[in-house]
Amino acid sequence: MIVRKAIINNLKDALELTKKTGSSSIVHEYLAQKGINFPVIIEQIDNRAANILKQEAISVGADVSVSQDVSRFKKGFSDIVLFANLTQILKLFDKLKMQPFGLKEVALNFKQLINNKKVFKCRDKSLDFSCPIVMGIVNMDPDSFSGDGLTCPDKAQGQALEFEECGAGIIDIGAESSRPGSNFVDAKTEIKRLIPALKKIKKKLKIPISIDTYKYETAKAALDEGADIINDIFALRVGKEKLAKLIANVKAGLILMHMKGLPKNMQKSPKYKDCTCEVFKFLLDRKNYALNFGVQEECISVDPGAGFGKTVEHNLELIKNIRTFSSLGAVVGAVSRKRFVKALSGEDKTSFVVANFLTAFCGADILRVHDVKETVNVLKMIQAFKGV
């Protein structure tokens, strides 16, 4: 007899294990769901609801870590952690959907958390996330932090087509640097840099085009020329309702990014009590803001904003926990050539490609990168590995 630990990373792994035992096909999925651990954090839940959830969790074989205030039946709100497998989560959904004190909302959130189907639509296009998608960066700002800024539309077109040929699924064009310490560029200058390149690229490119801007005027000019996605580092805090309605009207894709502070000061001692928690709350709030003005849920993607008001440790935490954001939509991982990568392992291209690899492996759906060919090759390795 041999006893060894089973390694289960997903439902596919669990199904393979159950099938190998020769068990009946009738119970394969049921047993596999029991092997998927599914810890859930619930913040600021009514203590009365926490008590009910604790008892219901125990009744299905799960458990909940609660504050001592909950155990002592004190009024108020607290944070809890539910420890359950997928089968137990599904049972809890049925038990909680009729309960008071906000537990119906908790149950509905369970359904969203376990839904693995991701959709990101941009105009008439729908992206497939069976494999992470590479977003190739085309910089039309000579002040680009990575030193690859272009000024010639023909060169921008050539770079975009090369990226598409190498396997990129999206091209992201920007004309204003957001590097730490950079200053704002007015919309007139941004449009002057951007639109000639966009026109050239749009003529021949088949994949979606994203525009890295937060300004209504620039976004309108780009969308009028056929751009598919607006990548907004301010998450509609600058363009606000006007920009949200514009995106909604044309059914363009929208990427909402988290940033603490402004580019000129964001890296001056950024502090968080709980980085992942605070970034999640921000992105959830901005997503709801976009939804309120008509942007469709399937048109929204989120970016935790690595390098934008974060220390090295904050960035590593966000990469490690990037799958947390998947309940908000497709997740963008943008770590390419960021300062924290250089601080950890130097400026060799290998460091940047490894950073992209880790971001994809931890759960990013879209990788915004400079090194397209190398990253595409790395993703092929990840897919082959996951398919074993």
Which residues are known catalytic residues? 338, 368
Q: How far is CA 363 from CA 115, 310, 357, 359, in A?
A: 15, 20, 10, 7
Residue 94 identity: D
Distance between CA 310 and CA 332 in Å, rounded?
A: 16
CB 331 within 8 A of CB 364: yes
Cβ-contact 348, 366 below 8 angstroms? no
DSSP 324: G
The vertex-13 CA angle with 9 and 18, nearest 5°, equals 135
Please tell me whether residue 207 adopts helix, strand or coil conformation. coil
Residues 6+ apart with CB under 8 A from 74: 47
Residue 231 β-bridge partners: 212, 255
What φ, ψ does residue 64 adopt, rounded to 5°?
Answer: -135, 135
Task: Please state, as a whole number, how many other Cβ atoms lie within 10 Å of the Cβ of residue 315.
Answer: 24
| 61-to-64, 87, 98, 104, 349 alpha-carbon distances in Å | 11, 10, 20, 20, 48
Judge residue 5's burial from the number of C-beta atoms within 10 Å of its C-beta, 0-12 exposed, 13-18 middle, 19 or more buried: exposed
